[in-house]
Structure 1
Amino acid sequence: MRLTAAILLFAVLHVSASGYSQRITLTMHDEPLEKVLKAIEKLGNVEILYNNDLVRQVEHVTVVVKDAGVDEALTMALARTKFDFKVVEGILIISPREEPAPVKPEATAPPDEITGKVTGLDGKPLAGVSVVNKTRKYGTQTDGAGVFTIAAGEKDVIEFTFVGYGTQVYRVTGKAASISVVMAPQASNLNEVVMIGYGSSQRRDLTGSVSTISGKTVQDIPFNTVDNAIAGKAAGVQVTKTDGTPGGAVRIRVRGTASIIGGNDPLYVIDGVPMQVQSSYVNQGYDVSNPVGNDITGQGGVSQGMSTAFVNGLNSLGGLNPDDIESISILKDASASAIYGAKAANGVVIITTKRGKKDAKPQITANYYTTVTGIMKRPKVLDAQQYKMLLTEAATNDNAARDKASMKHLPQADTIVNDPGHFFGASNTDWVKEVTRTSVSHTAEIAIQGGGNASRYYSSISFTSMPGIVKGTDYKRVVGKINLENEISRKFRILTNFNIGYTNQNIANGAYDQALKARPDYTPYDSTGNFYNFSNVGYSYQGFQNPVALLTAINNSKTTSLLGSLSAVYDIIPGLQFKSTVSLNNQIYNQRLYTPSYLQIGSFYGNISSNGGIGGNTNSRFADWFVENTLGYTKEWNEKHSLNILAGTSYETLKTSFFSATATGYPNDNVLNSLSSAITPLYTKGDEPSRPQSYLVSYYLRANYTFMDRYLFTFTGRTDGSSKFGPDNKFGYFPSGAIAWRLSKEKFLAPVKWIEDIKLRGSYGLTGNQNIGDQKYRTLYTPYSYAGNNALVPDQLGNPAVKWETTKQTDLGLDFSLFQSRLQGTFDYYNKQTDDALLSLPVPPSSSYSSLLGNVVGIRNRGVELMLQGDIIRTKDFRWNMSANISWNRSIITKLNKMANLDGQLLNPTGLEYQNTTLVEGQPLGLITGMKVTGIIKTQKQLADYKSKLGFFAGYIFPTLDIGDPMYQLDTVSYAQYGAAYPDFHVIIGQGAPKYFGGFTESFSYKNFDLNLYFLYSQGGKLMWADDVSSTTFVGTSNANVSMLKRYTAQNTNADRPRLLLGGDQLMYNTNLSIYNSSYLKLRTATLNYRFDKSGWMTRAGIQSAAVYLSATNLFTITKYPGNDPETSDDSYSVAGGYFDVSNYPAVRTFSMGIKIAF
């Protein structure tokens, strides 16, 4: 926290307070001249007279000026018309331009024509730049290729202005036939166009809480998925990687968690098409299985060992190419997101992709980069010598403990102690090295954009091939993008948008997990060259397999996604527009599994032989059709009032289907291993509905009113009717309201010249969540076959009272821009309350059901967000910009039904254990439950006292309890069936959620070089480290982490870890000994870019711009966490927890090199 505060203070102190004068900033593209003149009148507070009939004949005018005078704005507006203006007694008069009289021979020759090109710092041409000859008072603008032509004589001053960029001035010296101008971005974003629900708005006019990320920010870093590019860029948005799996999903939370069993991912709206993240939590068929982790019936679920990025679903955003993105807007409060009603409780992420430009020549952009990937931090496990020493110690201790307790020795312990030559192997294998590699990936992209007088287009295709650092894993993706806009007439146009993505992923089968556990004295291959047979059997957490052999199992997933829309837009009358859209989000997912005959299947019942091979297929289909009609009206009058109204209706149908089959008896492991080759079917399951499972019909209205550009009001109302709820609860109502006050427009702040803009805002509203799966309110049956007979058996007990999860949110915010936009910031306080979150309740076993769904949980998220950005140094050749954000969020369980139960067993009378977290009324969400070690028994008195507390259960639970063993905190609860005190060891041992988190960016530009540094940080969270849990003692003979070396011995009596035993499963619990602080500060990405100056060879080659770049990720991490990476989660879709580091796939460090060329 001190580091963050110091950085923010440094940014503030380095912002200079220069003078300020109010001028006109206006951006209008392809608008009627009359509308442009009215806008200039209003902004410039001037009077303009013109002939309406003549002016209305001009329907296509573009004006883009930044901090410019009225005369400059008019010059640009009239540049391509037959009109001119003059000032008469303070009034601007527009009149037809007079034809110049013929130049007499003796007259002075006209100025020379100067041709030039304007580009940004990245070398890309800038279209629509205002080019004004300040000396002669006329101007023009650049075309789609950034080219302009203007008349200028010697010593004339030419000024270049463009929204979002600093003004450039060029003084003509002598005769200059061609000039090049490079414009640098300006820190001010007050006039930035921000995408909001069903439209856009200038940032200065927002009444809600919206964070934006520019497409350039996303594209500057060679990330292959969009979600990774969001991390640390927006206040209130927490992005957590699960692991280093290529193409894997990440965990995204906007202002905390609002649901327990429903989805908590935000709604994504991609070019107007809504897309809800799919996972096994809300839809069947989206879980990803591990072929060596399920039992032979196929019902074992997923096992430990598979990459957690895929456990409950594939990355729903994997089919998007980050380089296609124009901007990202994140709607966080109710005012901004309520327009999406039933889907907006977890926030809305609006992704807008690139479009073509009118009257622009085709521009082709090519981008290629290659990436070298390696392990960020290598794990430290016992080598063969350490392993043999500690396992022998554990076996010796175990025999002595059993002798003392009059118990039989474990045969394995006697073999280790008495015949080590037979038990131990002679190798010293580094299994992590055997299953990992340094990988090289490639990404190639090409895009073309442009347009004519009545159309514009953007099209791209990209290919990515990314081998994982775990052998046998990889990620391939092909993405195609087409955006078209065609103007059929002056009032009617059609917009077409298609994004087609294909991903092919080979997912880890547990090889890395097993490499951390495999005995180092074993070898991958036997003397015959076959895989060495690890013959250990037992429970899945006891046994282990040959990690190298595991690499040969097949776990392949393919996804084909189509995201498309077709829109028709009709301008009925000036200010009134109708839009109709039909869109489709279609995803097809296929997973193929195969376990070779020489491997074993791990399950809770022990490792089962896969003789004959075991394989299967899972196919899922998801089709979301969306039809929407909107009517928008905009009106401004009396120079004081502005009204914008949007009304709409939409209809959505969602259909999912899946089929899964598992079989055995494959003729050959290498060739005939497809499902059709199997002899014996083991398990099938599927759901192929004849009609959509869910429907959603919606009606919505939004009204924005502005008075004197000072007082802003927004009202939004939405009604959603969903088939997911019973007859009495189908409809949900989601209103919101917001007000904003622009203090900088008040007279009392007028003398304060260093204040550019200050705005106070507040909002309150309701949003909903229906991402809970289908038919939850109904009683359902499922087909079942037994002894050749078919029947329907109870599957789900319905509850017609199930209703919407509704979230009420209050937001108070402050937006400011100071020192001529050198310092800008946003502050938000929010309170987000969900009173009716769904949870499963227990029912009597005699009912044939296990649970009943009910709205019984209350969750409150309360927090503060701060964002600052500053232009610290700005000179001709050097710029230093910085942006930083910090977020505090605290999630509290405000209500919890005392009998709530998720898995059929009451685990804690004060709360409920859910996955690796506990829900307790009045306590934060994200608690980690387990057993709390209060110390190690070191004396006979401590041993006697502890046994006395345990009573009868001392010998029942811990029969070999002795000095060196842990003491656990006890909670005594009376259970009637025992008639006595029963020791309950489950207590709260950690809080997973961080106290605050955020990120900051340092951007440096010197001449042709750009350096961007992106930092992430998190403070105050906790993680349970699974490898440390399994390294407390030996359960079986698996290897362990080097933390085991810190165990209690007669020579190390100050240890806080227990003595070693063999088969000591009574000592291997989730305890506070394995809870670690997960705070960190990391340099997430660093990118260095060099832009080539345009030279003769580039011109001859037809190259407009070229740049090369170097980029790296995870260069360093400052943390006390001993595991692989503190930025991790055991489940990217986890609804309540995720604070468990299972280390199934290592975090990675990457180095990339690439080149971008524009033709």
Structure 2
Amino acid sequence: MKKNYLRQISCLGRMVLKWWLCLLLGGMLNLPATAQQKTAPRVNLKVEKTSLIRAIEALRSQTRYNFLFNSKDLQPYTDISVHLQSVTLQQALDSLLIGRKTGLGYTIDGETVVIRKKQIQEQQQGTVNGRVTDNRGQALPGVTVLVKGTAMGTVTGIDGNYKISLPETGLTLRFSFLGMGTREIVVTGPECNVILEEEQNSLEEAVVVGYGVVKKKDLTGSVSSVDTRLIEESAAADIGTIIQGQVSGLHILTGSGAPGEEVQIQIRGCASLSGNTSPLIVVDEVPMPSDFSINQLNPSDIKSIDVLKGGSSSAIYGSRASAGVILITMKKGSRNEKPLISYDYTFGTRQLVSDINVLNTEEFKLLLLEATRNSAQEQGYTNLSDYRYYKDYTTPGYFGEVNTPWMKLLMQPARVHKHNISVRGGGHSSNYSVSYGLIDEEGMLVNTSNRRHNLNLNLDTDLNKWLKMGVTFRGDLSKRGQTENFNVAAEARPDLPCYNEDGSYYVHKYMYQGEERFESNPMIEAKERDNVNQDLGANITSYLVSRPFGGLSLRLQYSYNYKQSKGRDFYPSMTLYGSGGYKGQKGQLTNTERLSENQELMGQIMYGKRIKKHNFDITMVGTLTDSKNSYASMTFADFPDDKTQTSIWQGVTYKDQMGYDKGALLLSYVARANYSFNDRYLLTVSWRADGSSRFSPDNRWSYFPSLAVAYNLTEEKFLRHNKVINFLKLRASVGKVGMGYVDEYGWRTLYDATEYLDQPAIVPGSMGNNNLKWEGTVSYELGLDYGFFKNNRISGTLEFYKKKTKDLLYRYTLSPGIGLPSANVNFAAIENRGIDFDINAKIIKGYAPLYQLSAIIALSFLLDSMEAHLFRGYVCQRLKQPASMITPIFLLGNTNN
């Protein structure tokens, strides 16, 4: 047997023998422990993703010490990364064994180190003390030591020592210090020494870019990240509210503000007229279908959010990324960690910051009469008494005499409750995560609410050294109570009362052209309408990853998305709509149901290698997406009562019905290559081909290339050691994305069902167009990324961009003489250009989150214009107008007038 100082003991008998040798050697040397520590050698240790055995061997090679251990105890730990410089042997062993929750302990006896499993003993309530140092062995004064989950804590003294009382066993201590990475250690004994390493440079953080990740400093395209602290600390119930205003160029439109309402998201303006202006949502590398709402996710389960804004960065997703991409990574368990059970509860309220100024009764009368006089003069009336509306408004008794505060009656403070419980952990070869979330919120408008359940399950496991698999399930169930929107309170007539003297609802009657009519009571419409929507969503994703040899990765992934939405909208007979204008109708009910299913199969090949100063990686992807969706709606009126017998089959009078059943296929091929030279010059090239069944065979395929370059100036000698400029990078890119959001059979002539002579029949519904093709958006971008001072205390981006979309897809209204209502066509162009500016300043970073202060400024300047001569059969004489001018263009009228 070959003699080696790194002896591996495989049986208990030999371990006992070594113990006796250690005791004998210690007695011969007759050195106390304190003397040993004073003369202990200092070591340097720099290893990356290596085994614990090799790390111990590296320590042994720098000392005269013998190391005794059972190899089976050390074999599970194969992913060790540590950077230590000129530290004592004891500090190095603390970092490798104690601070990493290995469950291993050690003793130093003379020049022999014995590593063994700890004997866990029941620790009674008492004190824990220790010393906190940096990786060079220097004491760290002022380190905050907190008992996790409690308000108990202390601060290290000038010599780095601390002492803290613990109320029970098994608690976790959290060590935090300015400029150092935070560490959490489970207390297993009366002494706990800790080494804090310098905080990782934010430029080294990994950023998701689509089908992979890169370091932030190696980005060539426009990618912005949302600060994860905002997600964790916010009391908001939906993600759209949380990320609003956090990323330049990202605009969140919340609509009416009803709880659970789907938000509209735009990245760098509107670039399409087809209605699909929302970015692609990608969750854990799985693209979500177009009907997916970002608010379906539980904010407590989100780990990171990255936004792809530029054409080159989003071109990897081709036709699905015409409006940008939002990449979301969910939380998972960690390897070699005991189960961590976490529960958090958040309570918040939403209310108007200040009262909204609305007209009182006198102001309402004066302004309405003034508007009527202006209208009469515009129409050529010389005598106001001849103008019918002026005559009506000046008739005594037309206006009421009350002053009803509709805003106070219909608005309310809205309470929000958030519950979240999770269990995460992992073993040597697997990790898992289970979480459940409940959000219960009221709306600020009466009779509105939202209640959502979220369930997330994840398991990743290594089948062997080169094969890994995983499965994820995400489910959500929500029930939303809706009513009229906010305008019902803001636009209500203040001169009309809400209730009669007997407490019943007041309904205003008036005469119009000899016919009795009624004015809607906003309180009736808001409180009595029964409008409930229930959504059920589920996603199942499974993958298999193989790494046959260094640098090569093969991935096969299947995902299934399911979403069902059911709606019930019942107007009782006391409402204006439910009564048919108070003409005797006894309620009206509309039931709707939507169902969508999406399946995607993806195959991916990745290879990366570094050769001296040259670093490159190649990614190739193929995907097949099958989507199906259906819709059905039915309306009945006249029900036996307004409370109990209100099911759809209990309605007597048939009103309307409609629906559809559609499907589409999308086949895609993707290739991308990244290259960098000496981490200074960066190049990214990508290409994607999409083929969609939504277009005719002649125009089914479209291609989306992109090119991006970057120059990292901080790798140059003149900036490498600059204390002010920590990071500076120039980048430029050009890329093309597309959009194919048309009806599943938009290029075909479609027929609708109808009735003819009491028999079923079909009629043409829309005209086909074999020349229909993809929208194309070309984006140009020039950007500057910067970071100032240590650890980028001030950082951000400055970007100039321009993108132009041609061949806009739109459903064009045909002339009535053709006999068909509309056809899908390509026409017009939209151009967006602007500036994005981000700055993130860490103003104060204290020892605890309470004393941390940072500021985020996100500014965006956007100009958009539209080029179109023809729009809905009308002619526009002004080109280069904003896209928002579409409606005024329609009102201009035909050029023959």
Same fold (TM over 0.5): yes
Amino acid aligned to 2:475 = I
**How many angstroms apart in 2 are the aligned matches of 1:250 and 1:755?**
39
> 1:513: Cα distance to partner?
3.2
- 1:304 corresponds to which residue? none
> 1:677: Cα distance to partner?
1.1
State the secondary structure of the residue aligned to 1:340. Answer: helix
State the secondary structure of the residue aligned to 2:820. Answer: coil
**How many angstroms apart in 2 are the aligned matches of 1:379 and 1:514?**
13
Judging changes above 3 Å, is the alpha-carbon distance between structure 1 residues 790 and 358 closer, same or farther for their aligned structure 2 residues? same
> 1:63: Cα distance to partner?
4.4
**How many angstroms apart in 1 are the aligned matches of 2:174 and 2:403?**
68
Q: Does 1:571 align with 2:584?
A: no
* Residues 845-904 of structure 1: CA deviation (Å, up to 9, x unaligned): 3321233322211112112222222334456685543332222221122x32x2331xx6
- 1:845 corresponds to which residue? 816
5 Å matches for 1:945-984? none
Amino acid aligned to 1:805 = E
Q: Does 1:768 align with 2:738?
A: yes
5 Å matches for 1:334-345? 334-345=311-322
> 1:514: Cα distance to partner?
3.7
Judging changes above 3 Å, is the alpha-carbon distance between structure 1 residues 704 and 402 closer, same or farther for their aligned structure 2 residues? closer
**How many angstroms apart in 1 are the aligned matches of 2:135 and 2:197?**
18
8 Å Cα contact 2:108-2:114 kept in structure 1: no
- 1:725 corresponds to which residue? 695
5 Å matches for 1:534-933? 534-536=508-510, 544-550=519-525, 551-601=527-577, 607=581, 609=583, 611-637=585-611, 639-689=612-662, 693-750=663-720, 752-820=722-790, 821-873=792-844, 879-893=852-866, 895-896=867-868, 898-901=869-872, 906=874, 909-910=875-876, 920-927=878-885
* Residues 481-529 of structure 1: CA deviation (Å, up to 9, x unaligned): 112212222222221212111111111235x534444443433333554
8 Å Cα contact 2:438-2:451 kept in structure 1: yes
- 2:137 corresponds to which residue? 134
**How many angstroms apart in 1 are the aligned matches of 2:503 and 2:780?**
67
Match of 2:274 among 261, 266, 278: 261
* Residues 109-153 of structure 1: CA deviation (Å, up to 9, x unaligned): 99xx999xxxxxxxxxxxxx99757389xxxxx9xx99xxxxxxx
* Residues 729-779 of structure 1: CA deviation (Å, up to 9, x unaligned): 111111112222222222344464543332222222211112333211111
Judging changes above 3 Å, is the alpha-carbon distance between structure 1 residues 468 and 635 closer, same or farther for their aligned structure 2 residues? same
Match of 2:458 among 483, 495, 513: 483
Match of 1:346 among 323, 342, 345: 323
**How many angstroms apart in 2 are the aligned matches of 1:773 and 1:444?**
40
* Residues 24-60 of structure 1: CA deviation (Å, up to 9, x unaligned): 999966889999999xxxxxxxxxxxxxxx9xx9795
Match of 1:62 among 55, 59, 79: 79
- 1:1096 corresponds to which residue? none
> 1:796: Cα distance to partner?
1.0
8 Å Cα contact 1:842-1:899 kept in structure 2: no
* Residues 799-823 of structure 1: CA deviation (Å, up to 9, x unaligned): 1111111111122222222322233
- 1:243 corresponds to which residue? 256
* Residues 167-219 of structure 1: CA deviation (Å, up to 9, x unaligned): 2799xxxxx94459798996941111111101111101111111011332212
State the secondary structure of the residue aligned to 1:590. Answer: strand
- 2:430 corresponds to which residue? 455
8 Å Cα contact 1:130-1:162 kept in structure 2: no
Amino acid aligned to 1:863 = G
Judging changes above 3 Å, is the alpha-carbon distance between structure 1 residues 276 and 255 closer, same or farther for their aligned structure 2 residues? farther
TM-score by length of 1: 0.61
**How many angstroms apart in 2 are the aligned matches of 1:216 and 1:227?**
15
Higher relative contact order (CA 8 A, sep 6+): 1
**How many angstroms apart in 1 are the aligned matches of 2:648 and 2:354?**
39
> 1:927: Cα distance to partner?
3.4
Amino acid aligned to 2:137 = K
Amino acid aligned to 2:628 = K
**How many angstroms apart in 1 are the aligned matches of 2:88 and 2:755?**
81
- 2:168 corresponds to which residue? none
Aligned residues: 783
8 Å Cα contact 1:331-1:348 kept in structure 2: yes
User: More helix per residue: 1 or 2?
Assistant: 2
Judging changes above 3 Å, is the alpha-carbon distance between structure 1 residues 615 and 737 closer, same or farther for their aligned structure 2 residues? same
- 2:226 corresponds to which residue? 213
Match of 2:470 among 449, 470, 495: 495
8 Å Cα contact 2:572-2:578 kept in structure 1: no
Judging changes above 3 Å, is the alpha-carbon distance between structure 1 residues 205 and 161 closer, same or farther for their aligned structure 2 residues? farther
> 1:441: Cα distance to partner?
2.8
5 Å matches for 1:349-364? 349-364=326-341
**How many angstroms apart in 2 are the aligned matches of 1:474 and 1:711?**
53
**How many angstroms apart in 2 are the aligned matches of 1:747 and 1:238?**
40
**How many angstroms apart in 2 are the aligned matches of 1:272 and 1:164?**
34
State the secondary structure of the residue aligned to 2:230. Answer: helix
**How many angstroms apart in 1 are the aligned matches of 2:133 and 2:332?**
21
TM-score by length of 2: 0.78
> 1:609: Cα distance to partner?
3.8
- 1:1008 corresponds to which residue? none
The percent identity for this pair of structures is 28
**How many angstroms apart in 1 are the aligned matches of 2:796 and 2:339?**
38
Judging changes above 3 Å, is the alpha-carbon distance between structure 1 residues 475 and 598 closer, same or farther for their aligned structure 2 residues? same
8 Å Cα contact 2:235-2:347 kept in structure 1: no
> 1:410: Cα distance to partner?
7.2
**How many angstroms apart in 2 are the aligned matches of 1:574 and 1:549?**
69
5 Å matches for 1:238-317? 238-278=251-291, 316-317=293-294
**How many angstroms apart in 1 are the aligned matches of 2:552 and 2:180?**
35
State the secondary structure of the residue aligned to 2:202. Answer: coil
List alignment gaps of at least 5 residues for structure 2: 1-43, 59-70, 98-105, 121-131, 140-144, 150-157, 163-172, 184-188
Amino acid aligned to 1:924 = P
8 Å Cα contact 1:402-1:409 kept in structure 2: no
State the secondary structure of the residue aligned to 1:204. Answer: helix
8 Å Cα contact 2:85-2:136 kept in structure 1: no
| RMSD (Å), alpha carbons | 4.5
Judging changes above 3 Å, is the alpha-carbon distance between structure 1 residues 427 and 649 closer, same or farther for their aligned structure 2 residues? same
Q: Does 1:202 align with 2:175?
A: no
8 Å Cα contact 1:214-1:326 kept in structure 2: no
**How many angstroms apart in 2 are the aligned matches of 1:811 and 1:851?**
37
8 Å Cα contact 1:813-1:828 kept in structure 2: yes
Judging changes above 3 Å, is the alpha-carbon distance between structure 1 residues 373 and 875 closer, same or farther for their aligned structure 2 residues? closer
* Residues 568-616 of structure 1: CA deviation (Å, up to 9, x unaligned): 112111221111111122111111011111222299xx94746121112
State the secondary structure of the residue aligned to 2:451. Answer: strand
State the secondary structure of the residue aligned to 1:535. Answer: strand
